[in-house]
Amino acid sequence: MVRRLDHALAAAGRSPADLRRVINVSGTVTDGASKGHFDGPVGQWVDDIGELAVSYGFDTFGFWGEGDRQLARFAEEVVPAVRDQLTVG
């Protein structure tokens, strides 16, 4: 789908960089072991979001987490770590 979108943009004379790519993610930031995508520790979230950013071009992430402090953990722990990884990597 990403390639199809990029081709359509090029055909319209627009750069893929002109398009904002938004995705909603839901899950749980935990202190324990991974239970799958978007359900595990901060490092896993960093890897999962980094993959969506690098491989698929997503640049905006909406977070839907349930439970105490999920939004705070996402904003305070996951987001800065993803930025660091994408800046360095």
pLDDT tens for 21-64 read: 999 999 999 999 999 999 999 999 999 999 999 998 899 999 99
Q: Using CB atoms within 10 A of its CB, is residue 15 exposed (0-12), middle (13-18) or buried (19+)? A: exposed
The 3-state DSSP class for residue 46 equals: helix
Is the predicted pLDDT of residue 89 greater than 60, yes or no? no
What's the confidence (pLDDT) of residue 28? 96
Cα distance between the two ends of the chain: 24
Amino acid at 38: F
Q: CA 30, CA 21: separation in Å to the nearest integer?
A: 26
Most confident of 2-6, 17-21, 53-57: 53-57
Q: CA 20, CA 18: separation in Å to the nearest integer?
A: 7
pLDDT averaged over the chain?
Answer: 92
Structure tokens at 21: 């790519």
Structure tokens at 74: 């996402």
Amino acid at 41: P
Is the predicted pLDDT of residue 73 greater than 60, yes or no? yes
pLDDT grade for 1, boundaries at 50, 70 and 90: confident
